[in-house]
Structure 1
Amino acid sequence: MIIGVIGSGGREHAICAKILQSKKVKKVYCFPGNAGTNSIATNVEINLDEFDKIKDFVINKKINFLIVGPEKPLVDGIVDYFQKHNIK
């Protein structure tokens, strides 16, 4: 499974570290990530508010599942946006 984690804080680092413990997870991308996530996952230099760019990357890399860490993208409607595009 390929996972995307949206955020750049310590919470997202902890999420990446935990999901990487699963043998089912092949790769984790973090948008945009930080120095800590860069050591365990692949950071992607796309801002949290660039939903279209994140969507294109998710489709291109065949990411199976997205996890949103920070509240701001949630308030801005990121879940609704990705559900509209049939992305989990």
Structure 2
Amino acid sequence: MLEYLTKEDLPESLGDIIDAIGIVNVKELIKLAGGGNVYIPSENSVVKSFRNKLIKENFDGNYKDLARRFGITEMQVRNIINYKKA
């Protein structure tokens, strides 16, 4: 039945999501997680580990350059470079 619904048939609160990812994907999301609570992490938290990986790969001893390049402080770059997983 879900496949027959149009944007107008769905709750108005889904309008922005439909505009962003399309009605087909919203219907898939309803099938996957409908009725449940879905947490969507912020963009920053999603890209943070990738950014840190890039910082480590590009580290050549120049903290200031990387800090400027990635828009973070030199201290943050130092912490990322020196972080060791337990």
User: What TM-score range do you get, normalising by the shorter chain?
Assistant: under 0.3
Name the structure with the higher strand share: 1
TM-score under structure 2 length normalisation: 0.23
Whose radius of gyration is greater, 1 or 2? 2
More helix by share: 2
Structure 1 length-normalised TM = 0.23
